[in-house]
Chains A and B, each alone.
Chain A
Amino acid sequence: MTSPQRFDLIVLGAGPAGGRAALTAAAAGLSVILIDEQSAAGGQVWRKPWAEPAPARADGREGEGLRAALDSSDVTLAYGRRVWSVTEGFRVDSLGPEGSMSCVADHLIVATGAHERVIPFPGWTMPGVMGLAAATVLLKAEGRLPGKRVVVAGRGPLMAQVAAGILAKGGRVVAVVDRMPLTGWLKALPALATQPPLLAQGAGWMGRVLASRTPWIFNHHVAEARGTERVGEVTVASASGDCHVLSCDALVIGDGLVPGSEVPRLLAARMRFDRLRGGWIPDLTADFETSVPQLFCVGDGAGIRGALQAGTSGELAALAVARKLGRKTEPDQGARLRGAFARASRFSDAVAAMLSGRTADVARIGPDTIVCRCEDVRRSEIDAATAEGMHDINQIKHVTRCGMGPCQGRMCGDTVQELVSLGSRRSREEVGAWTGRPPLRPVPLGELVGSFDYGDIPVPEPAPL
């Protein structure tokens, strides 16, 4: 095995936060490697579209700008690599098309983004049911429709974006099923109006959906999805129980975002539960440094704030690293970035509030509903374990196998913790989070070990008898 490559800074995740961090650090003269699982930079929000020419949408142009800047920078770009281990010091091990790679650096910026929260309901495991973020990947990065007749459901602005995207590609949106009442949107309007271009973009999506005469059903949730090998119909219900059945061949649903904070947890950074920011996030300084010195967390992985603040947080963290290494930075750059970050707060907080988890949504899950998709664990099993006195999330994991499957608890974690909190009448802080353990992602053992010959292993001669 070759010795690890050394850099001044390793950046994990090439979305708006990680991409801007890497560019800022490289501009200050640091040696930087940027690692991402996808084959191009942009993260999920600025994901590379499948076809050129340059897309007309603003998020497409921003993504192209970031990719072009990175391509012409001194940043070492390591795309298509899956990070499976991060240890103190910092050492990052990843696996890519050319095999395994190790790199080390005294500074690490983690920009691993968020994953989607989908609150379980009967049939959410059915093929044809997928996340809202999944639908944006299909529409933007692959130029594909999730189905021919699609129900869009959940909460937040992503529903409008996805529904408008489906219509633009010639698909049919059966209905938008919104957990929020209309008043929820109206209350958020003043805060959203602080970013006129983004409000206009959102209003454009919504206008397109309403102009198509697609029903937008407020204050309703998906109660059940049914089908044999693919979803064929869904029942939607209001909190008071009135139901409609909608026929469809796809259901795209998302109930907000959860920060992907596995790396700071793995490195034992001090964490706290923050409902507005989507869940467990690291305690951070004004420079986005965690309680582990030289470990920084930026973007949605450090708490849901959206792309607007993600890039700024990445730049601020990179400037702090540059200063620690004694590099000269523009004196007013930090103040300018902090100003931009503060101005974006009202908008970002309003969107984060729409995307945060609601206890009432989780309380409504039925006892027979599968909560952990990987291990097919039902709510009743989690409730039974809680009733027996298991009030720590890791005890629940050992007894029920929730969180032990290949997704490593990313899909069900927030829901299981909320259920245990409800059942035990303890706070989310007391219930805790899964213990972070490598590998961070499933990796084939054979590829980690590499190819070797038993004859090459230096086995010492046996000691004489």
Chain B
Amino acid sequence: MQDADISIEILLDGQPIRVGARGSVAGALLEAGVAWLRSSPRTHGPRGAFCFMGVCQECVILIDGRLQQACLVTPRAGMTIERGGAP
């Protein structure tokens, strides 16, 4: 358990970005001003994390090459994140 807020560098859509290391990827991105995570499959509307507890599946993006719920994954230095949702 960290006692201070550590910031780490991750790759977001190929660009380096610094985010807080605590909590979830979805929370860290939101704090860094990144709300848009993917487009919906039918109307291609913008979507972001909604329930933050693993239920709604809105935050499913490619994290280290695997589709994962950004609200259930802890940020890690060097992590690669591709927004846009399921290919």
Contacts and interface: CB of A to CB of B under 8 A. Distances in A.
Given A52-B3, A143-B23, A115 B57 contact: no
Interface string A34-58: 0001100000100000111000000
Contact of A127 (B23, B46, B53, B67): B46
Interface string B36-47: 110011110111
B40 A125 contact: yes
A207 interface: no
A20 B25 CA distance: 30
Given A37-B72, A229-B36, A373 B55 contact: no
B22 A407 contact: no
Interface of chain B: mostly helix, strand, loop or mixed = loop
Interface string A225-240: 0001110000000000
Contacts of A141: 23
A228 B45 CA distance: 10
Given A142-B24, A229-B36, A125 B52 contact: no
Ranked nearest first, the 10 interchain pairs of A and B with the lowest CB-CB distance are: A127-B48, A142-B23, A127-B35, A134-B52, A376-B42, A406-B57, A230-B35, A137-B52, A142-B27, A229-B36
B45 A138 contact: no
A444 B66 CA distance: 10
A38 B71 CA distance: 11
Interface residues of B, number: 37
A228 B36 CA distance: 10
Contacts of B30: 138, 144, 146
A138 B52 contact: yes
A38 B52 CA distance: 11
Nearest to B2: A51
Contacts of B56: 373, 407, 410-411
A442 interface: yes
Interface of A: 37-38, 44, 50-52, 82, 115-116, 125-131, 133-135, 137-138, 141-146, 228-230, 370, 373-376, 405-407, 410-411, 441-442, 444
Interface of B: 1-3, 5, 20, 22-24, 27, 30-31, 35-37, 40-43, 45-58, 60, 66-67, 71-72
17 contacts: A50-B23, A82-B54, A125-B40, A127-B37, A127-B47, A130-B48, A130-B51, A133-B52, A137-B27, A138-B27, A143-B22, A144-B30, A230-B36, A230-B46, A373-B58, A405-B57, A411-B50
Contacts of B51: 115-116, 130-131, 133-134, 411
Nearest to B60: A406
Given A134-B50, A143-B22, A406-B60, 15 more contacts: A50-B23, A51-B2, A52-B1, A126-B48, A130-B48, A134-B49, A137-B52, A142-B24, A143-B23, A144-B20, A146-B30, A230-B35, A373-B47, A373-B58, A406-B57
A403 to B, nearest CB: 13
A406 B68 CA distance: 12
A407 B55 contact: yes
Contact of A229 (B24, B27, B46, B66): B46
A50 B46 CA distance: 29
Given A51-B1, A411-B56, A376 B45 contact: yes
A417 B82 CA distance: 35
Contacts of A133: 51-53
Contacts of A375: 41-42
Contacts of A373: 40, 47, 50, 56, 58
A125 B49 contact: no
Nearest to B37: A127
Contacts of A82: 54
B22 A442 contact: no
A326 B49 CA distance: 47
A126 B46 contact: yes
A138 B51 CA distance: 10
B51 to A, nearest CB: 5
B61 to A, nearest CB: 12
Contacts of B53: 44, 115, 133-134, 137
Contacts of A44: 53
B44 to A, nearest CB: 9
A51 B3 contact: yes
B69 to A, nearest CB: 9
Contacts of B1: 50-52
A439 to B, nearest CB: 12
A127 B35 CA distance: 5
A37 B71 CA distance: 12
Given A51-B1, A51-B22, A373-B58, A130 B45 contact: no
